[in-house]
Chains A and B, each alone.
Chain A
């Protein structure tokens, strides 16, 4: 029995086939990526998540950037910068920045850890399905890499007014950016869905359509 897939971008029905390692299956008609075969184990992805979590903590504890001018030193942290927006009555912007560079990455790390830790013990987390759906919904709103680029632009604007000292948090954020991307890249959602609770391994749940 073969599993039928419908392309999310053009609705073309096609059979799922096995892939060589690290290949991506694309839609035969519109070339949308359908699923991948990821070279990974849960351990590898979990290692990325753990390292990313360390970076997240460091990025919150240490200052992001410090400014030095005429003997005076100002520095800001990640949450400090967001609190500063609140102080200027910019609640909407503050909320958006908070969600995109703090809450969304944190939820991604927590969600990945939750699913992976259970799978490592050869079981499925109780709320695995909810968490998998949450992870997919959050992804477009997690913008650490855009923020890292934004920091570089801000620094370029400030070097003409004052001495700029990049802080530990900036390097940690760059680390978080790379490690979170690596974790998501080695996390094969498709495989998790195939074996998610409600589906017995290798078999489709009730209601699934199979080719005869």
Chain B
């Protein structure tokens, strides 16, 4: 723990901290400046944080059904052809007895993107309404969202490998389906949404005793 001089925020003293190097500095009346240490653009809060977060989130929500309904992978042999969505790929793992991996893929591909969208929407809504409750929980939730988002890329890597390995063989063919770019889009958009959200907004109306 570092010692807190008072329960006072940088913004309350007219100070901004550099997003890149952390240097605390005075903006001198302007709403943005250049960091004297690392030359990054310094603003009091991430610019247009809520608008940008919502924009990325809405785009992710629009893509989400496509990512889940369109086939992410097409596989065919001489005798059969099959389209696989994210869910049917998980079902295949489950049925063939790899249920620990089925669980991992379910969490990474289905649960994480969904919960991430819900969590970020809740955070953005609560900040928009200037909510005062559950600040600690909301900040912790934001950190969790930032931490786990990357794992949703799992299925993209799986289909990449499957198609590269099986495509040239004589016994079967696997090609990547249109669900893959849609799913990759959801992952990238939710990562950008999380990146655009400024967790300091959660605390901006906190009193001294919060």
Contact = CB atoms under 8 A, between A and B. Distances in A.
A and B: bona fide binding partners: yes
Interface of A: 3-17, 25-32, 34, 64-65, 67, 69-70, 72, 74-76, 80-82, 84-85, 88, 90, 92-93, 96-97, 100-101, 129, 132-133, 136, 140, 143, 146-147, 149-154, 156-158, 160-162, 190, 193, 196, 198-199, 204-209, 211
A143 B105 CA distance: 16
Interface stretch (B47-55, B58-66, B124-132, B180-188): B180-188
Residue of B1, B157, B162 with most partner-chain A CB within 10 A:
B157
Contact of B184 (A28, A75, A88, A93): A93
B154 A149 contact: yes
B2 A157 contact: no
Contacts of A4: 10, 15, 24
Interface of B: 1-11, 13, 15-17, 19-26, 35-40, 89, 92-93, 96, 98, 101, 104-105, 135-136, 139-140, 142-143, 146, 149-151, 153-158, 160-172, 175-176, 180-181, 184-185, 188, 191, 195, 199-200, 202-204, 206, 210
30 contacts: A5-B24, A6-B24, A8-B199, A10-B202, A11-B11, A13-B4, A13-B10, A14-B5, A17-B2, A28-B2, A29-B7, A69-B171, A74-B169, A80-B164, A81-B161, A84-B164, A85-B164, A90-B176, A93-B156, A96-B188, A97-B160, A154-B157, A154-B158, A154-B165, A157-B92, A193-B23, A193-B37, A205-B23, A207-B35, A211-B5
Nearest to A155: B161
B171 A196 contact: no
Contacts of A140: 146, 149-150, 191, 195
A208 B36 contact: yes
Nearest to B84: A157
Contact of B105 (A9, A80, A85, A153): A153
Nearest to B200: A11
A58 B35 CA distance: 40
A101 B157 contact: yes
Given A92-B181, A140-B191, A11 B10 contact: yes
Contacts of A30: 135-136, 139-140, 203
Contact of A74 (B13, B26, B105, B168): B168
Contact of B157 (A15, A16, A92, A151): A151
Contacts of B154: 146, 149-150, 153
Contact of A85 (B158, B160, B199): B160
Contacts of B158: 150, 153-154, 157
Contacts of B21: 129, 132-133, 193, 196
A167 B161 CA distance: 13
Contact of A93 (B35, B101, B176, B210): B176
B22 A8 contact: yes
Contacts of B164: 76, 80-81, 84-85
A199 B37 CA distance: 7
B14 to A, nearest CB: 10
Contacts of B104: 149, 153
Contact of A96 (B8, B19, B35, B184): B184
Contact of A9 (B142, B184, B204): B142
A102 B17 CA distance: 32
A28 B166 CA distance: 53
A14 B156 contact: no
A20 to B, nearest CB: 12
Given A29-B4, A74-B166, A150-B155, 8 more contacts: A8-B200, A13-B6, A15-B4, A85-B163, A93-B184, A132-B20, A151-B161, A198-B37
Contacts of A17: 2-3
Nearest to B170: A72
Given A26-B1, A143-B153, A93 B160 contact: yes
A4 to B, nearest CB: 5
